[in-house]
Amino acid sequence: MNLKIPIITGLCLFLYSCGPSIPYLDARAAYKDCGLRNEGIIKVDQCARSTLKNHEQQYGSGTVTNYNTETLKFYRGLVHKVKTKQLSNSVAQSRFQNYTRNKTAANEAAQRENARKIGEASRGLDELFSQPGGLYDILNKR
């Protein structure tokens, strides 16, 4: 009698884990793939939007991830400017390359800063524990 609940629970978990998994598509990957196949910024956008739309139609809404990232918003803004003839395709591509280069540099600088802070904190803890009369000696009653 008491074994029914764990057996049923285990069976449900097993069936759930064997069920179909939903394939997610990263919108950034769709834009990158289309960028390799097309040269014009408008063609890349059309290709990526078509790919994303087809994926959502096939697998349902919510299966596309990272659609509203800053980078893609900036890219779609450039596409709009090229469509309305405010920018040429080559200028838009140049601006996007500069944007991604600057963003990468900023991310790398932030990572270096975080590593520096972690290093300082670990050195401070090391000094706290290893100095004579420090916390290590107090805890071990030396």
Q: What is the pLDDT of residues 24-81, one digit of tens each?
A: 899 999 999 999 999 999 999 999 999 999 999 999 888 899 999 999 999 999 999 9
Q: What is the pLDDT of residues 89-108, one digit of tens each?
A: 999 999 999 999 999 998 89
The CA distance from 102 to 108, in Å, is: 10
The CA distance from 82 to 106, in Å, is: 27
Residue 138 has pLDDT above 80, yes or no: no
**CB–CB of 92/82 below 8 Å?**
yes
Is 46 buried (19+), middle (13-18) or exposed (0-12) by CB count in 10 A? middle
The CA distance from 95 to 41, in Å, is: 12
Phi, psi of 25 (to 5 degrees): -120, 125
The CA distance from 51 to 37, in Å, is: 13
Residue 68 half-sphere exposure toward CB, CA atoms < 13 A: 1
